Structure 1
Amino acid sequence: MSILKIISKDFDIEERLPEEQLRNVLIDAFAYLIDNDFPKLIQILYKADVDQYKLKELLETVEGSSAAEVIADTYMARQKAKVETWEKYSRKN
């Protein structure tokens, strides 16, 4: 399972995007959701199991990044962690 495959369930993205481009696409998508569809933003973060307390703390303390950048980075980190966990346990079988 790849991070792109997981993320493409929430966003309409190409599954062969380099990670830096993926980050930029997600930043744009989260910026749009912040301004235009906050309930969907919350739903995506909830479904991804992003730690709301960690995200809130990051949004309050990270300087030099927009809210969309912080959310995109946190979302990507959570999805990467899921992939690592799946790979770890699928190798044991």
Structure 2
Amino acid sequence: MERTADRSALIQDLNRSYGWELADSLTLQQLEQLLAETLNEWIRSDFDRLVQFLYRIDISEARLKRLLEENKGQDTGQLLAGLVLERQWQKIETRRRFRPDDSISDEERW
């Protein structure tokens, strides 16, 4: 079951990081489908943009190659969309984990 706050955080992060205007009301499935369509369009018409995007997202090239080899014949945009969303979740969780605890007073931090 999808948690609304997490989905919302993911959409907000994508909008903020990449200048998109994704609707906060999208389900995870709709978001993944929209992302897959965009990535497939870039594969067909703007491969440089796709490469730059994947680099900026920080998708492991080795993992990407392995995924594509293991899933030949499957929709490449869909595979990439899954990787992109997984990576964004990782970034959000890392930020949450290492966010400073604002409830500690400045005096106690020393």
TM superposition score normalised by structure 1: 0.87
Distance 1:82 1:13 in 2: 18
Partner of 1:68: 77
Distance 1:12 1:63 in 2: 32
Q: Matched residue of 1:2: which SS? A: helix
Partner of 2:31: 22
Partner of 2:41: 32
Specify every segment of 5 or more residues in structure 2 that has no aligned partner in the other structure, as ranges: 1-7, 102-110
Partner of 1:2: 9
**Correspondence 1:48 to 2:86:** no
Identity of aligned residues (%): 26
Structure 1 segments (4+ residues) deviating >6 Å: none
CA-based RMSD of the aligned residues comes to 1.7
Classify 1:31/1:59 alpha carbon distance in 2 versus 1 (closer, same or farther; 3 Å). Answer: same
